[in-house]
Structure 1
Amino acid sequence: MRGRVDWETFWDLMLNATLETVYMVAVAALFTVAMGLPLGIILFITRKDGIHPAATLNRLLSGLVNIGRSLPFIVLLIALIPFTRLIIGTTLGTTAAIVPITLGAFPFFARIVENALDEVDKGRIEAILSMGGTGWHIVSKVLLPEALPALLAGITLTTVLLIGFSSMAGVIGGGGLGDLAIRYGYQRFNNQIMIGTVVTLIVLVQLVQTLGDRLVRSLAHRR
């Protein structure tokens, strides 16, 4: 099947694919933050000069994060097919695509968290320690509140990354705009669909970036 589709079919395809992409990105973002945030905190506090130094653990986790960040996502996507099938029962569809998307993104976010915490004023940490504060007090009362603007900026950046990952998931039938672009735009030589998916992805990225920037600025002004 080549050529254009009627506009009613076009809008139906675009709407369904967009909703699938939003679903994938939203759920993957939740899991990415849930996994990456504690990992980033552990990386920070177990440094040589951290509040709970643990050189062996830090080297191990840092190495795993570096490996996760260095793998091209398309390679990771294919390599995780057996694991995805084990967890979800299938490798097709939007829910299955969430597994490799999350595993590809959370090491990136963990490093963002570590770098954001590194910018917190060390004097605040020393003040809490001098008053007998525990590691939990430092994390909950100083590190996370002080680094919140940077963390929100990191979440925004990571969400944009997830949109790109969700598009690549279309290669293995992950659904969403990427899958639509491949099945209709590329395989059926339909420029109408291809252009529509590209424009929609650009709009999604711009919306996420704009909303994220506004939240960061709003939080920074309140502080």
Structure 2
Amino acid sequence: MTTERMRELLAQGTLDTLHMVGWSGLITLVGGLPLGLLLVLTDRGGLLANRPVNKLLGVVVNIGRSLPFIILLVALIPFTRLLVGTSIGPTAAIVPLAVGAIPFFARLVETAVREVDHGLVEAALAMGGSTVTVVRKVLLPQALPSLVAGLTTTVIVLIGYSAMAGAVGGGGLGTLALTYGYQRFETDFMLLIVAVLVVLVTVVQLAGDIVVRALNRRERADA
């Protein structure tokens, strides 16, 4: 394979991977954040305490987290085809990526919100704050650094998931690795793909760390 051809394939594969990870990450944030909040709010002693609902949510999240991603990919093929009209390509891969990441991120959200000082919640309630106010003014702001760290971890997991999606025609760097690195034994190209994935993960982790540190400094300054 020529160098020019390698560059073209890597550029397109990287764009496809960013497309998958970007959209699935956004969907995961929109779906996982409220789910994680509900796990805390509906738990015993929560602002919306409801044990049956909490147990049901917990079961759904645990099932979602327990399924190996490669099995989830195959199991969701009919649903993916119904939703986007195809089960092949980067856009189709967004569906199983988001479904697999939402319960993972929800547990990280739950952990982050539980770390918030309960005294702050009680103070907000004592001043007449509603549940929505407590969530918006206390829980989310106080948990924000941990939430950003959790989202960073989730995006990194999605990058790994997106590579696995290549095994079933998901496109991106995973498909390139399977087609050229495994089936055609082009070791040099495989190493380049691995290097690009490492760079993507490193950039995401560094960006997340910078944001978390900035938020922590702002919290200390406000205190």
Write the distance in 1 (CA, Å) between the matches of 2:45 and 2:111: 14
Write the distance in 1 (CA, Å) between the matches of 2:153 and 2:48: 29
Shift of 1:185: 1.1
Give the 4+ runs in structure 1 shifted more than 6 A.
Answer: none
1:184 maps to what in 2? 180
State the secondary structure of the residue aligned to 2:111. helix
1:158 maps to what in 2? 154
Cα deviations across residues 68-108 of structure 1 (Å, max 9, x unaligned)?
00111011111111110110111111000000000000000
Q: Match for 2:57 among 55, 61, 68?
A: 61
2:107 maps to what in 1? 111
What is the identity, as a one-letter code, of the residue corresponding to 1:178? G
2:191 maps to what in 1? 195
Shift of 1:133: 1.1
Identity of aligned residues (%): 54
What is the identity, as a one-letter code, of the residue corresponding to 1:221? R
Write the distance in 1 (CA, Å) between the matches of 2:51 and 2:143: 24
- Whether 1:52 and 2:48 are equivalent positions in the alignment is yes
What is the identity, as a one-letter code, of the residue corresponding to 1:213? D
1:73 maps to what in 2? 69
Residues 25-174 of structure 1 correspond to what in structure 2 (within 5 A)? 25-174=21-170
Shift of 1:192: 1.7
Write the distance in 2 (CA, Å) between the matches of 1:170 and 1:194: 14
Shift of 1:130: 1.2
Cα deviations across residues 111-141 of structure 1 (Å, max 9, x unaligned)?
1001100000100100111122110011000
- Whether 1:10 and 2:6 are equivalent positions in the alignment is yes
What is the alpha-carbon root mean square deviation over aligned residues?
0.6
Write the distance in 2 (CA, Å) between the matches of 1:65 and 1:32: 13
Write the distance in 2 (CA, Å) between the matches of 1:222 and 1:58: 33
Shift of 1:9: 0.3
Structure 1 portions without partners, runs of 5+: none
Write the distance in 1 (CA, Å) between the matches of 2:23 and 2:59: 26
TM-score normalised per structure 1:
0.97
Write the distance in 2 (CA, Å) between the matches of 1:149 and 1:87: 34
What is the identity, as a one-letter code, of the residue corresponding to 1:131? M
Number of aligned positions between the proteins:
219
TM-score normalised per structure 2:
0.97
**Structure 1 residues 191-200 or 58-67, which shifts more?**
191-200
- Whether 1:218 and 2:214 are equivalent positions in the alignment is yes
Write the distance in 2 (CA, Å) between the matches of 1:28 and 1:107: 13
